[in-house]
Amino acid sequence: MASTKIKKKEMLRLQALTAIERSCLKEGFTCIAGVDEAGRGPLAGPVVAAACIIPKDVLIPGIDDSKKLKPAQRQFLYDRLVTDPTIIYGVGIVESDEIDRINIYQATIQAMRQAIDALIIKPDILLIDGLKLEAYPIPSRKIIKGDSLSQSIAAASIIAKETRDRLMNEQHRLWPSYKFDQHKGYATSEHLAAIKKYGPCPIHRKSYGPIKEEFQESELFFSF
């Protein structure tokens, strides 16, 4: 949508949301990628990261931190982002068994690196929500609450969250007893009750407390 069609109040919000990107451009950076993740906290499923490059003259009405958006808004913006030929994005996915092997922090870093590596254009600076990639060839800046402060990070948060939600919907069809389509693997009372009743399934994170403490030595673990 052209910026001239955006209402004044929304235009002011979007200008504030692109202030970090404009500051980077003034410093001489020419290709800025926002990076964010979804799924660090759940008891099941992967952690998903996304990296997103939005051209400097493109503003996305309605874009915001994915956690602030209703599901229908997030789905609409996801479709808007991934179908726009001027917007470049990449996705990284690290599954639960790898999370158990290397821990969630390292898995998040790995997913972010995958997402950045998947970009068809190499950025010259990364804006990352809450993290900084050390020993990485592209400079990065840790932006606290970046998904509320940067349009490109907000876009990455939407792509990561929606990608993960869709993956968990697929897992629901494989493991309907856990209702992954409803809670996406988070530790809701309903999810915890299902774990107690059925035991963990293969996509549960066995290193996470509620799983590890109650079932690590239990015969309720599936054998695969």
Which residues participate in the annotated binding site for a divalent metal cation?
36-37, 129
Extract the annotated binding site.
Answer: 36-37, 129
DSSP secondary structure of 27-51: TT---EEEEEEE-SS-SBS-EEEEE
What backbone phi and psi angles, to 5 degrees, belong to 27? Answer: -80, -10
Helix, strand, coil percent values for the chain (each to nearest 5)? 50, 15, 35
The full length of the chain comes to 224
Task: Please state, in angstroms and rounded to a whole number, the distance separating the CA atoms of residues 125 and 140.
Answer: 6
Task: Please state, in angstroms and rounded to a whole number, the distance separating the CA atoms of residues 74 and 83.
Answer: 14
Residues in contact with 130: Cβ distance below 8 Å, sequence separation at least 6, in sequence order: 142, 143, 144, 145, 146
